[in-house]
Amino acid sequence: MSYVIASVLRGCAADVRSYLLAGGDEERGAILASATMLMSPYMLTYDSMLLIWPLAVFLEDRTRPWRAAIVWLCLLGPFLAYFGFYPGPNLTPVAAGFSLAWLTFDPGKRKAAAPFGTAAPQSERVV
């Protein structure tokens, strides 16, 4: 039971962090999908379809195509197992963990946040 509670809290923390640091809605949705996969202790084959969103984000990133390849290979395992070609474990949680880590802890995409209490420049103010 403590594992489930720890997983849910970890997923909620990742969601809040992603909302605050992510660049756009695509990344926020991909992080939400990845964190959702890690919250449940039960992972079924069709649950891996949620990771299509992070896979699409990785496919858009032309500088690191190997990330998309790793996630795709991890997602291929459950489908091969369904047809009897892969006797190994379900690698969907591994793909979700990699996706969540790469989307939330990428120092190359991190934006410098303005110090608390500073006003936005005149050109960025919403009236």
Q: So where are the chain's domains?
A: 2-106
- pTM (two decimals): 0.68
Task: From residue 29, give the alpha-carbon distance in Å to each of 25, 50, 51.
Answer: 6, 10, 10
- Helix or strand run (H / E) with residue 25: helix 25-39
Give the residue carrying structure tokens 């110090």: 115
E strands, the chain, are none
Are 98 and 74 in contact by the 8 Å Cβ rule? The answer is yes
The pLDDT tens digits of the residues spanning 53-101 come to: 999 999 998 888 999 999 999 988 888 888 999 898 888 888 988 998 8
Half-sphere exposure of 113 (CA within 13 A, CB side): 8
